[in-house]
């Protein structure tokens, strides 16, 4: 049996398994969407207010108060900045390293499972197309068996082929939309974390400038 005969025999299994596979992907994708939505919504905070509170504490050189304020926030942004703020006494360079490390960890946590949504969104139409190809092959096989006569079996095979493509698109569109929305949300939240981090860096640099002068006066 050559490769063409093997592929034809495989196609004769039908496109039903392809459609069930797509349905399974859609169920998993929906679970990922709901889980990510809950994770991002439950960790939101009023960032302008948080930044104003942080700036007030830093202006008063109240690092413990600033850390306490950040600990009260459920946001990933606050967690990132808290790591940098805890190292203020060690200098701006250490603060920078702590912020970068915390930012990478928070980004990874916020983007968890989003790669699956991106993969489903990009490839579900091709999986549906596979089902369409299988349906067309079976349709031609049915047409050959009926000696060129259009039959109910032929129309059923053509209909199955078209349904496979439609299901692939229906699975891909929500996945792509959710993926883009979540990635945009993560980008915005990391931007806020960077803004708060700049405030902490500025305070660390000012703290470093004050320390030598204080030691000199004593």
What does the pLDDT look like over 189-217, one tens digit per residue?
Answer: 999 999 999 999 988 888 766 555 444 44
Q: Write down the pTM of the prediction.
A: 0.81
d(CA 47, CA 50): 5
Which residue did the predictor score with more confidence, 195 or 5? 195
Which residue did the predictor score with more confidence, 54 or 139? 54
Radius of gyration, alpha carbons of the chain = 28
What would the two tokens of residue 213 be? 């002068």
**Measured over all CA atoms, what is the biggest interatomic distance in the chain, rounded to whole angstroms?**
105
pLDDT at 178: 96
User: For residue 155, is pLDDT > 50?
Assistant: yes
Mean pLDDT of the chain: 84
What does the pLDDT look like over 75-84, one tens digit per residue?
Answer: 999 999 999 9
Element (H, E) at 139: helix 114-145
What would the two tokens of residue 80 be? 């990132």
- Token look-up 């920078």 returns 96
List the chain domain ranges: 14-44+69-208
Which residue did the predictor score with more confidence, 49 or 13? 49
| 3-class secondary structure, 111 | coil
- Cβ(166)–Cβ(128) below 8 Å: yes
């Amino acid at each position: 049996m050559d490769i063409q005969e093997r592929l034809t025999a495989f196609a004769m299994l039908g496109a039903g398994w392809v459609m069930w596979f797509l349905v399974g992907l859609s169920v998993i994708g929906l679970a990922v969407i709901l889980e990510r939505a809950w994770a991002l919504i439950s960790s939101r905070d009023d960032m302008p207010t948080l930044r104003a509170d942080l700036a007030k504490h830093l202006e008063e050189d109240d690092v413990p108060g600033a850390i306490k304020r950040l600990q009260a926030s459920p946001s990933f942004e606050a967690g990132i900045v808290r790591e940098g703020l805890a190292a203020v006494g060690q200098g701006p360079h250490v603060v920078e390293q702590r912020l970068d490390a915390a930012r990478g960890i928070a980004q990874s946590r916020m983007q968890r499972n989003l790669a699956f949504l991106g993969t489903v969104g990009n490839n579900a139409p091709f999986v549906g197309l596979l089902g369409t190809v299988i349906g067309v092959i079976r349709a031609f096989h049915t047409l050959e068996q009926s000696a060129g006569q259009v039959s109910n079996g032929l129309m059923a095979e053509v209909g199955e082929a078209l349904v496979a493509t439609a299901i692939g698109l229906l699975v891909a569109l929500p996945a792509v939309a959710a993926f883009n929305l979540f990635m945009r949300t993560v980008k915005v939240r990391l931007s806020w974390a960077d803004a708060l981090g700049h405030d902490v860096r500025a305070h660390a640099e000012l703290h470093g400038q004050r320390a030598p002068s204080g030691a000199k006066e004593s």
